[in-house]
Amino acid sequence: MQLTGNLEDIGLGEIFQILGFSGRSGVLRLRDTKTEGLVVFKEGKIIKAFSSQLRFSVGEKLLEGAKISAAQLEEGRKKQRERGFVEPLGRLLARSFNVPAECVEAAATELIQSAVQGFFSWRGGYFEFDLGDYAETPDVIKDDALQHTLKTGLNPQFLAMEGLRVADEADRDGQGASSAPQAVERAQEENNSFCSVSEMLHELGADEQFLETKGFQAGSTSRGLAVLKEMLEELARPLTMNEILLLILRFSSEFINRSVVFVMKDGHIAGFGQFGIELDGEQPDKRIRGIKIPDRGRSILAEAVEKRKIIVRELEKTEWDEYLMDQLGGSRPIEAFAAPVILQNRVVMVLYGDNVPEARKLDGLSVLETFLAQTSIAMERMILMSGSANASWF
């Protein structure tokens, strides 16, 4: 099955988000008036990308980094030809010349990132997505500009965030003060193009049964997608940090009973805002703003910060998880989650949630995680437009 479209109608960032969110495998082909590109997805992760403007294989990258010699590169290419292109050059170099596999992966990752960043500088073009597994046949390997496929794929949402950052930075450097309104306009165009998440997911074959395997529960699928679309439209307009925090709380309220936004401050995870917290004789907001948990202490919040991913589990009987429960009113959920928000490669916020007072497990977290990735992009744009890479928001 093939999906085609115009990049002026649906932004590349949104395409990356949809393909990552749906968890599908396939090949995304891109072209504008001067350049052609290819991005390979495996189960929602990017495992390969290259551009006709960056005809630089992993072999040349390893040579540039002094990981192999020119003689080794030539010998590797010779072996590859003699064996009929049965394996990519990167794999052959690792196997035959003792190049550490992590060096090959790092070189390929850097080239993939460069190619993707180049795509985000385009002002138009077309895309085609062929659904299905990427088959590395000898003919495909022979024409492969990258000559390597990552074992562990890259997160398309964070590649999109970095691509948008670099593109907006280039706009600002080239056009001075006028870049801020243009960045706002571009942000609006990117997000407004996300007109039908559910329709494109349907085209990708993401039916309700499939979505349940990605973290949705029956009955919440259509509601979650509808809320996601609405909130992405909210993120399209210029927002203050407080408005973004309120959006996060509003969005999470669609799926869970109570939630707390924490921010990273001076080695601690500090309470900032909440919804659904009920306390006897005390203002919940005041209590929440007094919570401080060490970012290296043993807690569900610190675990999310350390691992940089959403944590979903029963709370442990540790000092800081017990402290958190006491501060939130004493009731203990059967399951809780902590989700980090990452900005400029560091965790800046953590969203905590559970279903107290109900004894009910969590659902809709895949949609929530997607939304949090988009808030990272929105905050990144705020920093770009502020003109300060070290803006302090809290």
pLDDT of residue 385: 63
Residues with Cβ < 8 Å from 94, sequence gap 6 or more?
100, 101, 104
Residue 250 · residue 233 · CB < 8 Å = no
Edge-to-edge, what's the strand order for the sheet holding 26-31?
Answer: 2-6, 126-131, 26-31, 36-42, 45-51
pLDDT of 346 higher than 80: yes
Is the predicted pLDDT of residue 179 greater than 50, yes or no? no
Residue pair 159/116 in contact by the 8 Å Cβ criterion: yes
Q: Average the pLDDT over 252-275 and give the result.
A: 92
Nearest of 228, 231, 245 to residue 379 by alpha carbon: 245
What the block records as the tokens of 229 is: 């679309």
C-alpha 25/C-alpha 46 separation (Å) is: 9
- Average of per-residue pLDDT values in the chain: 81
Q: Is the pLDDT of residue 315 over 80?
A: yes
State the CATH architecture for 216-386: 2-Layer Sandwich (3.30)
Would you give the DSSP letter of residue 256? Answer: -
Of residues 271 and 219, the one with the higher pLDDT is 271
Q: Which residue did the predictor score with more confidence, 232 or 212?
A: 232
Over residues 4-30, the pLDDT tens digits come to 888 887 788 878 877 876 778 999 999
Helix (H) or strand (E) holding 387: none
Mean pLDDT score, 346-366: 90
> Span 185-205, mean pLDDT?
45
Burial class, 124, CB count within 10 angstroms (exposed 0-12 / middle 13-18 / buried 19+): exposed
Residue (of 230, 255, 235) closest to 245 by Cα position: 235
Q: Nearest 5 degrees, angle CA 272-CA 277-CA 282?
A: 85
At residue 343, the pLDDT reads 84
Question: Residue 99 above 70 pLDDT?
Answer: yes
- The residues spanned by each domain of the chain are 2-154, 216-386
The continuous run of DSSP H or E covering 293 comes out as strand 292-294
CA–CA distances in Å: residue 123 to residues 33, 132, 139, 215: 10, 28, 32, 35
Ordered alpha helix ranges (H), the chain:
12-22, 58-64, 70-82, 89-96, 101-119, 138-142, 156-175, 179-192, 197-203, 208-213, 221-236, 241-252, 284-289, 300-307, 319-327, 365-386
pLDDT tens per residue, range 119-174? 988 888 999 998 888 999 999 999 999 999 998 888 887 788 777 777 777 766 66
- Cα separations (Å) of 294 from 250, 268, 285, 303? 27, 4, 20, 11
pLDDT computed for residue 152 by the predictor: 82
Confidence of residue 112 (pLDDT cuts 50, 70, 90): very high
pLDDT of amino acid 123: 83
User: What's the CA gap between 380 and 351, in Å, rounded?
Assistant: 18
Q: Is the pLDDT of residue 360 over 70?
A: yes
Rounded to a whole number, what is the distance in angstroms from the first to the last CA of the chain?
A: 47
SS3 (DSSP) at 352: strand
Lowest mean pLDDT among 8-12, 217-221, 225-229, 249-253: 217-221
- pTM check: above 0.75: no
Average pLDDT of 66-92? 94
pLDDT band at 204, cuts 50/70/90? low
Report pLDDT for 345. 79
Q: How is residue 306 annotated by DSSP?
A: H
